[in-house]
């Protein structure tokens, strides 16, 4: 097999963000663009860590072409073994699992997650390390540095490979094995949950689930796990046909983009549990009959009821949440007498804590939860946690939420996103907020007054690495908070995220709608961040 050394030039801006490199797909479609970036990944790996790599993506538009290029590149670089998902498809948590199970040196995930797919839409590539975790910043920085000086890459002249499960190819020093996209992951789930208990409840009619695959990667996983193994009827598994453009939708499981599921769960036909997952299968939305469970509450409730989940029967040890995620988890951790870590946004920051065994459960307000079984957030797994809790407690999700709020207080939580900002204006907002403590301390809104304003800085307790500038926190005297940060996953203009959390300890006042409850605080946030005066925007683009 011929190996060609292709002369190339660096592309600007191949800098990984919160979760890998994300750009418009036409940027990735430029000649050399994918090859440059993947060669930069390979070059960042020490020579003895190129033995075995896993490759797969969420199946969006351009996934198939990019996979073929990556295989040529990995053969060209003499990687001994490559495991690739059938059709080039693997959900993000499934990649993480395969890396761990096969003791690979890492994996390449093709996805732009919840961002839309199709011509003119978004694409992405990220690298996960040998523990299955998104690469830490030291590695993404090394990759980025390589992209700035790259002048050649090595490509094998492979024919187009048919990626059917079970196929195996050998070229020069490389074996390529095509694996079933769902099997290993489904097996892992069966070791973590009591499938007999859940399926008995489903088959007896005492527990029902409606799942929306949003025409994204989890469709086949849901059919196998919820359908074949647990007995959920086909008509309750919606949009499980994976499509390259996600059916034209936005595969982001929240109240706005999973609206039909939301409406169904609020209506008279609702099932006990409603759930949806995103483009690459790492996010989840959880609803009970007539109740939306905010991701921060979902995380706190999983911690609270961890004894209903076989994976956690031996105890949680510790838990972690990203900084903007609500403090509901902290209160449960305190009650359980276990540690609760606060990390910057992005799953990569949980990797060390999980590897060291300091935490077993993690989550983010952005509809992401997972345990120590993989090193990614995991949508289907979260649904199985909720099915386990409901099957075990035999109480509705709505009732569990009410009980939780009575015991721990309710964190009324929501997020306001201001999209389409010019980058320099977004930066001005952040800069002036960072220096605003003197001006803001003591300012009142309703009964609360600002106690502290600071810029979040994280020092990793395991390796001591430091992440600066991870968002501005405005903390009130009753622990309520407003957090501001800029998105690191967008593909064009800047997005300002404003996270609102108000803690209501009085059970009489815990039944309101979180978005409405936070309206006044959202206006206050707009004002103190000078969003309107800097950008002209009086209202956020999205409220979730």
Residue 97 touches which of ligand VG1, Co ion, none (Cβ within 5-8 Å per kind): none
356: Cβ contacts below 8 Å, ≥ 6 apart: 462
Q: How do strand 368-371 and strand 361-364 relate by DSSP bridges?
A: antiparallel
Q: Tell me the HSE value of 328 on the side-chain side, using a 13 A CA sphere.
A: 32
Torsion sign across C-alpha atoms 142, 144, 148, 151: positive
When asked if residue 278 is in the footprint of ligand VG1 (CB under 6 A), the reply is: yes
Site for ligand VG1 in 368-397 (CB under 6 A): 368
The smaller minimum CB distance to ligand VG1, of residues 155 and 302, is found at 302
When asked if residue 487 is in the footprint of ligand VG1 (CB under 6 A), the reply is: yes
CB 112, min distance to Co ion, A: 9
């209202």: which residue's tokens? Answer: 539
Tokens representing 3?
Answer: 């190996």
3-state secondary structure at position 539: coil
Site for ligand VG1 in 495-514 (CB under 6 A): 497
The smaller minimum CB distance to ligand VG1, of residues 283 and 481, is found at 283
φ/ψ of residue 44, rounded to 5:
-80, -10
CB 347, min distance to ligand VG1, A: 5
The smaller minimum CB distance to ligand VG1, of residues 347 and 476, is found at 347
* Helix (H) / strand (E) containing 377: none
The smaller minimum CB distance to Co ion, of residues 252 and 504, is found at 252
The smaller minimum CB distance to ligand VG1, of residues 36 and 345, is found at 345
When asked if residue 122 is in the footprint of ligand VG1 (CB under 6 A), the reply is: no
CB 287, min distance to Co ion, A: 19
The smaller minimum CB distance to ligand VG1, of residues 118 and 310, is found at 118
Q: What span, in angstroms and rounded, lies between the C-alpha atoms of 351 and 408? A: 28
When asked if residue 298 is in the footprint of ligand VG1 (CB under 6 A), the reply is: no
* Helix (H) / strand (E) containing 391: helix 379-393
Work out which of 488, 523, 534, 537 binds ligand VG1, going by CB under 6 A: 488
The smaller minimum CB distance to Co ion, of residues 105 and 278, is found at 278
Q: Residue of minimal CB distance from ligand VG1?
A: 113
């804590």: which residue's tokens? Answer: 353
DSSP secondary structure letter of residue 397: H
Q: What span, in angstroms and rounded, lies between the C-alpha atoms of 39 and 41? A: 5
CB 497, min distance to ligand VG1, A: 6
Q: What span, in angstroms and rounded, lies between the C-alpha atoms of 278 and 489? A: 15
Residue 18 touches which of ligand VG1, Co ion, none (Cβ within 5-8 Å per kind): ligand VG1
When asked if residue 19 is in the footprint of ligand VG1 (CB under 6 A), the reply is: yes
3-state secondary structure at position 399: helix
CB 346, min distance to ligand VG1, A: 5
Can you give the binding site for Co ion, defined by CB under 5 A?
113, 278, 280, 282-283
Site for ligand VG1 in 342-371 (CB under 6 A): 345-347, 364, 366, 368
When asked if residue 18 is in the footprint of ligand VG1 (CB under 6 A), the reply is: yes
When asked if residue 114 is in the footprint of ligand VG1 (CB under 6 A), the reply is: yes
When asked if residue 436 is in the footprint of ligand VG1 (CB under 6 A), the reply is: no
Residue 321 touches which of Co ion, ligand VG1, none (Cβ within 5-8 Å per kind): none
CB 46, min distance to ligand VG1, A: 26
Q: What span, in angstroms and rounded, lies between the C-alpha atoms of 188 and 192? A: 7
Burial status of residue 437 (CB atoms within 10 A of its CB: 0-12, 13-18, 19 or more): middle
Q: How many residues bind ligand VG1 (CB under 6 A)?
A: 18
When asked if residue 129 is in the footprint of ligand VG1 (CB under 6 A), the reply is: no
Beta bridge partners of 209: 273
CB 164, min distance to ligand VG1, A: 28
Residue 346 touches which of ligand VG1, Co ion, none (Cβ within 5-8 Å per kind): ligand VG1
Kindly tell me the number of DSSP H helices and DSSP E strands found in the chain.
19, 27
Give the DSSP letter string of 439-476.
Answer: HHTT-EETTEEEEEEEE--EE-TTT--EE----EEEEE
The smaller minimum CB distance to ligand VG1, of residues 13 and 446, is found at 13
Q: What span, in angstroms and rounded, lies between the C-alpha atoms of 440 and 449? A: 9
Q: 386-409 burial, b if ≥16 CB within 10 A, otherwise e?
A: bbbbbbbeeebbbebbbebbeebb
Residue 488 touches which of ligand VG1, Co ion, none (Cβ within 5-8 Å per kind): ligand VG1
User: Are 355 and 342 contacting, i.e. CB atoms less than 8 angstroms apart?
Assistant: no
Tokens representing 460?
Answer: 């990793």
Residue 369 touches which of ligand VG1, Co ion, none (Cβ within 5-8 Å per kind): none
Residue 19 touches which of Co ion, ligand VG1, none (Cβ within 5-8 Å per kind): ligand VG1
The smaller minimum CB distance to Co ion, of residues 282 and 460, is found at 282
Tokens representing 201?
Answer: 């409840």
CB 382, min distance to ligand VG1, A: 12
Residue 113 a catalytic site member? yes
The smaller minimum CB distance to ligand VG1, of residues 374 and 391, is found at 374
Tokens representing 483?
Answer: 């957090």
CB 111, min distance to ligand VG1, A: 7
Q: Which of 91, 113, 436, 487 is catalytic?
A: 113
Q: What span, in angstroms and rounded, lies between the C-alpha atoms of 490 and 422? A: 12
Helix, strand, coil percentages, rounded to 5, for the chain: 35, 25, 35
Site for ligand VG1 in 309-328 (CB under 6 A): 322
Catalytic positions are: 113
Residues interacting with ligand VG1, by CB under 6 A? 18-19, 113-114, 278, 282-283, 322, 345-347, 364, 366, 368, 487-489, 497
């Amino acid at each position: 097999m011929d190996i060609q050394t292709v002369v190339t030039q660096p592309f600007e801006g191949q800098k990984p963000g919160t979760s890998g490199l994300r750009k418009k797909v036409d940027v990735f479609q430029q000649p050399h663009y994918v090859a440059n970036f993947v060669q930069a990944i390979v070059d960042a790996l020490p020579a003895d860590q190129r033995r075995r790599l896993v490759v797969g993506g969420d199946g969006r538009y351009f996934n198939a072409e990019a996979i073929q290029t990556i295989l040529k590149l990995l053969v060209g670089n003499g990687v001994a073994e490559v495991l690739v998902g059938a059709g080039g498809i693997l959900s993000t948590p499934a990649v993480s699992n395969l890396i761990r199970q096969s003791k690979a040196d890492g994996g390449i995930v093709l996805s732009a997650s919840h961002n839309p797919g199709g011509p003119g839409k978004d694409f992405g590539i990220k690298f996960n390390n040998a523990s299955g975790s998104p690469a830490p910043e030291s590695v993404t920085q090394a990759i980025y540095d390589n992209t700035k000086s790259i002048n050649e890459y090595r490509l094998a002249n492979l024919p187009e490979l048919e990626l059917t499960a079970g196929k195996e190819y050998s070229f020069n020093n490389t074996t390529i094995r095509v694996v079933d996209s769902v099997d290993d992951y489904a097996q892992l789930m069966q070791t973590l949950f009591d499938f007999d208990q859940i399926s008995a409840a489903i088959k007896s009619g005492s527990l029902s689930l409606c799942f929306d695959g949003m025409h994204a990667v989890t469709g086949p996983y849901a059919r196998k796990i919820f359908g074949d193994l647990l007995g959920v009827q086909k008509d309750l598994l919606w949009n499980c046909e994976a499509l390259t453009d996600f059916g034209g939708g936005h595969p982001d499981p929240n109240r706005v983009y999973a609206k039909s599921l939301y409406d169904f769960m609020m209506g008279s036909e609702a099932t006990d549990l409603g759930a949806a997952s995103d483009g690459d299968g790492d996010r989840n939305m959880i609803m009970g009959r007539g109740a939306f469970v905010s991701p921060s509450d979902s995380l706190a409730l999983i911690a609270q009821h961890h004894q209903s989940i076989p994976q956690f029967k031996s105890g949680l040890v510790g838990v972690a949440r990203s900084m903007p995620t609500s403090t509901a988890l902290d209160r449960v951790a305190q009650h359980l007498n276990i540690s609760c870590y606060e990390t910057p946004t992005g799953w990569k920051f949980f990797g060390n804590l999980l590897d060291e065994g300091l935490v077993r459960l993690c989550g983010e307000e952005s509809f992401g939860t997972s345990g120590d079984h993989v090193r990614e957030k995991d949508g289907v797994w979260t649904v199985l946690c909720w099915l386990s809790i409901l099957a075990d407690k035999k109480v509705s999700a709505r009732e569990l939420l009410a009980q939780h709020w009575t015991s721990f207080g309710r964190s009324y939580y929501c997020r306001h996103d201001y999209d389409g900002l010019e980058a320099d204006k977004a930066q001005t907002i952040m800069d002036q907020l960072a220096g605003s403590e003197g001006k803001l301390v003591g300012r009142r809104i309703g009964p609360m007054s600002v106690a502290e304003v600071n810029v979040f800085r994280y020092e990793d307790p395991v390796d001591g690495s430091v992440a600066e500038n991870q968002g501005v926190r405005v903390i009130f005297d009753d622990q309520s908070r407003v957090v501001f940060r800029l998105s690191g996953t967008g593909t064009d203009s800047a997005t300002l995220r404003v996270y609102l959390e108000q803690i209501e300890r009085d059970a009489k006042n815990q039944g309101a709608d979180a978005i409405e409850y936070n309206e006044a605080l959202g206006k206050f946030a707009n004002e103190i961040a000078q969003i309107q005066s800097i950008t002209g925007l009086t209202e956020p683009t999205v409220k979730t």
